[in-house]
Amino acid sequence: MSTLIPISGQTRIVGIFGDPIAHTRSPAMQNAAFRACKLPYVYVPFLVHPLDLAKAVQAIRAYNLVGVNVTVPHKERIVRHLDTLSEEAELCGAVNTVVNRDGGLFGDNTDGRGFLASLQHRGFSPHQGDIVLIGAGGSTRAVLVSLIRGGSPRITIVNRTLAKAQALVRTYRTLGQTRLEAAALDRLQDPAFFQNAALVVNCTSVGLHGEPFLPVAFAATSPRCLFYDLLYRPDLTTFLRQAHSLRRSTMDGRQMLLHQGALAFSLWTGQAAPLQVMSRALARALRPT
């Protein structure tokens, strides 16, 4: 199969806004899906500096783009420039997918549902036990909302700045029946803290460049505990490497990337995403060079 997408007067453009953007693997995944479904779409990356975000959003209308994905640092900032939001985007206060509906821009957030879908693919249910989220930024919000909606019994948010974790607890404590708690970073070194943990998620950027992760009492977790890093690298992150060395199950962010991308594909096209095609394309794009 040709890897090139024919460009013609019928071609529609989808893209991704970010800064930086050169590292994104989404074009490989989405363009493979468009080819497989024989859609006249092409997905391209756009380097959008923060000061240019408002102009970039206007360009979606001006150039009649089908829509865009949104990545750092724009997920929260883009909200005020859109016409309507999904309930999930409103809850998260962030958008990762924009759909152009005849000039009206609709914002959704597929990150949390993509995260849940990746867990379901692994055979993990949020009902299985206590969950620990490390970090209190935008990624944590999307994961937290999805886990609460998924019926998690108890979630503890651990963050360097305890006040930020406490703010998330206050914001989302009435969203569902989940018991929410906040904890300071030093709790990660307490073996008793992980006694009932079924899932531990790194929602921070620590380890992206191979730097050491924070001290964590990995050995105190149950052998059935799953460690999930929202980051992804060609090799294991330092967070997952330590868990793997103790024979704990691990996942990185590539499955979340796949499933959130599949949801975005369906929002733009109205069609079911060719998940296996996208998965293979993503695996090729993530191979070490």
CA distances to 133, 138, 142, 164, 222 from 230, in Å: 11, 12, 11, 19, 21
Residue 222 · residue 198 · CB < 8 Å: yes
In angstroms, the first-to-last Cα distance of the chain is 22
DSSP 85-139: E-HHHHHHT--SEEEEETTEEEEE--HHHHHHHHHHHHT--GGGSEEEEE--SHH
d(CA 216, CA 268): 41
Residues forming the active site = 75
Look at residues 8, 217, 230 and name the one whose alpha carbon lies nearest to residue 119.
Answer: 230
Q: Is the peptide bond before 6 cis (omega within 30 degrees of 0)?
A: no
Is there a contact between 281 and 34 (Cβ–Cβ < 8 Å)? no
Beta bridge pairs of residue 268: none
3-state secondary structure of 195: coil
- Amino acid identity of residue 23, one-letter, is H
Q: What angle do CA 221, 163, 149 make, to 5 degrees?
A: 60
* Rounded-to-integer distance, Cα 61 and Cα 277, Å: 30
**Which residues are CB-contacts of 47 (< 8 A; sequence separation ≥ 6)?**
18, 19, 20, 21, 22
